[in-house]
Structure 1
Amino acid sequence: MDIAELILDDHHEQRRLFAILEQIDRADTEVLSAIWARLASFLELHALAEEEIFYPALLQVGIAARRKDRVEDETLDAIHDHNEIRDAVAEVARHQVGTDEWFAAVAAANLANSDHMAEEEREGLTDFRRLAGLPRRHQLAVAFAAFEARNYAGVRPVDQDPADYVRAAEAEVPAPAEEPEDVQPPANGSLSVGSLKRN
């Protein structure tokens, strides 16, 4: 079991549910409502599972591999994307099911989610497979599956400030033992939070 594969499986299911919505008669609002409720809940749960399990681990392995700037950027983008997806899901709820406005809001949610998944698959997941060994990916897969199972009934959607999220996650990353005493903070725009510099 590999957390990258579990995330990809979730992405496939999200794409499948969006495709199902596109094939249901607009007049069948009961079915549209049921499928959308499942999908909306799944989108929220998946985002929170990534925020709790995957992105802190991506930051940790990226920092250990001296790729802090790259994994910071990927994580900032992902948390921003999650907020956009949450906002798009909330927008769907403002419209009557089956109307043109409702379908337009669902399409906007699909677009926001599709853009996020594509970027995550190209960057974060690819980097994580390169930087983390299979035993670590397996351990995280177990935690990810357990988190989703424990919260199958849904989670409360809460936007997060991307920079605050990264700061908090980096504060949990242990400093490497070999870090020299005189390391200077990066001058390249890194958040420099949870700095690996010894005090």
Structure 2
Amino acid sequence: MDITELILDDHHEQRRLFAILEQIDRAETGVLSAIWGRLSAFLELHAKAEEEIFYPALLQVGIAARRTGRVEDETLDAIHDHNEIRNAIAEAERHQVGTDDWFAAVAAANLANSDHMAEEEREGLTDFRRLAGLPRRHQLAVAFAAYEARHYAGVKPVDQDPADYVRAVEEKLPGSGSLSVGSLKPN
């Protein structure tokens, strides 16, 4: 088991659920609501699991490999993307299911999520496979699967400041001291 594979599996499921939504008649609001409820909860759970498990590990291996700037940039961008996805989900929740405004908000969530997944697959996951050995990726996969299983009913969506997120993670890393590494050092 490999955390990068679990994340890719989640991405596949997200794409599948968005595709299902696109094929349901707008008059079937009960079905649309049920699938959207599952998808929106899954998107938030996936983002939170990444924020709790994957991105701290990416920062740790990137700093150890002297690629601090790159992994910080990837993480900053990912947290920003997660906020965009959360905001699009919240916008969909403000509209009646099946209306033009609801479909527009769902489409915005799909676009933000698709952009995020493409970047993550091209950058963060690739870097992590290069920098972290399979035993570490397995250990994190177990933690990731457990996190998602423990929180199957969903987690509370909370936007995060990307820079504050990276600073907080780096402060917890062994040997990093208080913001003593990376491009986010205080001036």
Q: Which structure carries more relative contact order (alpha carbon 8 Å, separation 6+)?
A: 2
- The structure richer in helix per residue is 2
* TM-score normalised by length of structure 1: 0.90
Question: How far did 1:173 drift?
Answer: 1.3
Poorly superposed stretches of 4+, deviation over 2 Å: none
Residue 102 of structure 2 is aligned to residue 109 of structure 1: no
* Matched letter for residue 192 of structure 1: K
CA distance in 2, matches of 1:105, 1:159: 17
Residue in structure 1 matched with residue 184 of structure 2 by the alignment: 191
Counterpart mapping for 1:65-84 below 5 A: 65-84=65-84
Question: How far did 1:101 drift?
Answer: 1.0
What fraction of aligned residue pairs are identical, expressed as a percent? 85
* Matched letter for residue 80 of structure 1: H
Structure 2 unaligned spans of 5+? none
CA distance in 1, matches of 2:173, 2:122: 24
Question: What whole-Å deviation, never above 9, does each CA across 1:105-136 have from its counterpart, x for those lacking one?
Answer: 10000000000000000000000000000000
* TM-score normalised by length of structure 2: 0.95
Alignment length (residue pairs) = 183
Residue in structure 2 matched with residue 174 of structure 1 by the alignment: 174
Counterpart mapping for 1:106-185 below 5 A: 106-175=106-175
Q: Which has the larger radius of gyration?
A: 1
Question: How far did 1:100 drift?
Answer: 1.0
Question: How far did 1:41 drift?
Answer: 0.1
Residue 39 of structure 2 is aligned to residue 39 of structure 1: yes
Considering only aligned residues, what root-mean-square deviation do their CA atoms show, in Å?
A: 1.3
Question: What whole-Å deviation, never above 9, does each CA across 1:50-80 have from its counterpart, x for those lacking one?
Answer: 0000000000000000000000000000000
